[in-house]
Amino acid sequence: MPATTTTAPVTADTPAAAGGKPAKTKPFHKAPRYGEPELEQLKQVIAQGTLFYAHGKKVFELEKQFAAKHGAPHAVASTSGTAAIHTALMAAGISPGDEVITAPITDAGTVLPILWQGAIPVFADLDGATYNMDPKSVAERISPKTKAILAVHLAGNACDLYALREIADKHKILLIEDCAQAHGCKYHGNAVGTIGQIGCYSYNEFKHISCGDGGISITDDEALARKMRLATDKGYNRAPGVAQRNTNFLATNYRMTELQGGVAIAQLNKLDSIVERRRKWCAGLSERLKGIEGIALPKVTEGCDPTWWFYMVRVQPKVLKATADEFVAAMKAEGVPLGAHYIGRPVYEYPLFQEHTAFHHGDHPFKVRDYSKESCPEAVAILDTCVMLTINENYDDQDLEETATAFHKAAKWLRTK
């Protein structure tokens, strides 16, 4: 007689990748992010008869509201989060040959402004649980050329800011915070961006709040604020009664328009609600995912109240018996669109750094550093094993329960198949 094969019965626990029903029964709930508040602001902008920040009211109003909300005396708007960082570096006096220590897992918008100042990015390794800069690694990379630490608050989780500020103060260098992914994030009760000398935020379309594209920098230092204002406007001083065009340093044109300013004001008014809903949803997810074998949940930095730009976990291949890509495939079958490896490789492995291709002609000071010898092993391990879930403040309870179910189903199946 021919051999017979036994097929496991399909049950509610059967993963979709093995023929079961997907955990996700409907698309993730979302809602329009722009509406009447933004339209009303735009009407007011058009009615004032100018879209130029220095002659209008909206950009100045945004700066005033943003500064007050974050407990900072000064705010300067710009055209993007990248521009906000570049503005900060110009104001800080970062110059050719200076070194700036930053994170190897970040957007190019963090490191390009360093290069535009003729400075040399130096990459510190990360903490494997919080995914943020390890203060010990930062301290090891301090040199006589170091002029600033550019901390990146990845995914809405704060860096260990007290430790980084202590290092910066010890060496008499600046701490600048890249808060692009951390709108609303608190560190020991204070807004991120206020522990360092300058905090830089993004209003990019994909951030917590947006005006399409835009940026803003905050500081408690009046001199830095004044220099940042000049840095965004070609060095022109447009203060009432001054109107001087005596540019005395290499500034840029990063002026935010009144249209952007108006939309950003409307979005800023929504920030508290957006943050509250993201915190609640991700706290619920973390609670439901506790104890899954083979999945390491993100660790919130001590003293931080995170705002979850995305939710990133790490697979433990030996326990899960699967790679990050295999886990992502199982989750996608369940209807949960995870992504693997985030930016793929550390920034210092990009051709820009490996081949020193800053310009078509001429040299750049960063050529003195051999980035082929750069070593951030924890960052490499994070990228190899991480998977990310995009977060939206409009996700509902059904989304939460079905997402958690998908995690459990996929992980159990991979461990036991």
Nearest CA to 94 among 198, 218, 169? 198
CATH of the domain at 265: 3.40.640.10
Query: Residue 8 has what pLDDT?
Result: 63
Q: In the prediction, which pLDDT does 11 show?
A: 75
Q: What is the predicted pLDDT for the residue at 246?
A: 81
User: Taking every pair of C-alpha atoms in the chain, what is the biggest distance, in angstroms?
Assistant: 101
Q: What is the DSSP string of 18-70?
A: GT---S--SPPP---S--HHHHHHHHHHHHHT---GGGSSHHHHHHHHHHHHT
User: Domain count of the chain?
Assistant: 1
Position 229 in a domain = yes
Task: Quote the CA–CA distance of 216 and 256 in Å, as a whole number.
Answer: 9
- State residue 1's pLDDT score: 47
Helix (H, G, I), strand (E, B) or coil at 335: coil
Is 413 within a domain?
no
Spans of the chain below 70 pLDDT: 1-8, 243
Specify the pLDDT at position 7: 59
Cα separation, 79 vs 77, in Å, equals: 7
Containing 86, the helix (H) or strand (E) segment is: helix 81-91
Asked whether residue 216 is domain-assigned, the answer is yes
**Residue 94 within a domain:** yes
Task: Give domain status of residue 399, yes or no.
Answer: no
pTM: 0.95
Angle at 211 between CA 208 and CA 217, to 5 degrees: 75
163 close to 169: Cβ distance less than 8 angstroms: no
In a domain, 416, yes or no: no
- Judge whether 365 lies within some domain: no
Domain, as residue range, for 139: 36-270
Using CA atoms, how far apart are residues 102 and 382, in angstroms rounded to an integer? Answer: 16
97 torsion bin: left (phi>0), alpha (psi -120 to 50), beta (else): left
Is 28 a member of any domain? Answer: no
> How many residues are present in the chain?
417
Task: State the amino acid at position 305 in one-letter form.
Answer: D
Contacts by 24-28, CB closer than 8 A, 24 or more apart: 24/334, 24/335, 24/336, 24/402, 24/403, 24/406, 25/335, 25/398, 25/402, 26/398, 28/392, 28/395, 28/399
Model confidence pLDDT, tens digit, residues 6-63: 456 777 778 999 999 999 999 999 999 999 999 999 999 999 999 999 999 999 999 9
